[in-house]
Amino acid sequence: MSKRKVELQKVCSTGKDFLKQFNFDYCADRYRILNTQKAALVSKMINLRELTNVYNQETPRLLLSLWLTQLCLFMGFEAIEIQLRQTSEYMYEEIGMLNLAELTLLFHRIREGFYGEFYGKFNPQIVLRACREYRKERGCIISKMSTNQQNEILNTLYSK
């Protein structure tokens, strides 16, 4: 068992505990100072794929679904459960490598309209486009880093 897994399970023994604690508002407050993509990227916070390894496949998807629900509440939109569930599935495929600080920054930017407007209703395509754009920007940042920094990021992504 990895050190990160042990540390996380000390804080939240189950995926359900994790979901209760790491809601968007908690993460927004916790990661407020990591307000640039590079700062969030190198923060070494747990990423969505690691959540799968620590808990189960549902935990990161439920986290994304809960955060999407909070986004809809914030924006005053209604969304049906199937939209949220499927959008969270696609998001996990697209941005499973993001850590919680990066995910928080992405959701902040979506709320601010950084990646487009919703025009009065929840639009999964805008959310998924935002994920792709964020990932592209992230790739540009990583490409400018030293080889050692790049390896550190890769080791975090693929360590078990």
- Helices 81-95 and 58-75, interaxial angle, to 10°? 120
pLDDT digits (tens, 9 = 90+) for 20-53: 999 999 999 999 999 999 999 999 899 999 999 9
**In this model, does residue 148 exceed pLDDT 70?**
yes
Domain extent listing, the chain: 3-158
pLDDT digits (tens, 9 = 90+) for 50-108: 999 999 999 999 999 999 999 999 999 999 999 999 999 999 999 999 999 999 999 99
Nearest residue to 48 (alpha-carbon basis) of 34, 32, 66:
66
Q: Label residue 110 by pLDDT band (50, 70, 90).
A: very high
Q: What is the DSSP string of 92-114?
A: HHHHTT-BHHHHHHHHHHHHTTT
- Contact in structure between 123 and 83 (CB atoms under 8 Å): no
Q: What is the DSSP string of 21-55?
A: HS-HHHHHHHTTT--SHHHHHTT---BHHHHHHHT
Could you tell me the two tokens for 156?
Answer: 């975090």
**In this model, does residue 159 exceed pLDDT 70?**
no
Cα–Cα distance for residue pair 21/60, rounded to 1 Å = 13
**In this model, does residue 141 exceed pLDDT 50?**
yes
- Contact in structure between 47 and 99 (CB atoms under 8 Å): yes
Cα–Cα distance for residue pair 115/60, rounded to 1 Å = 22
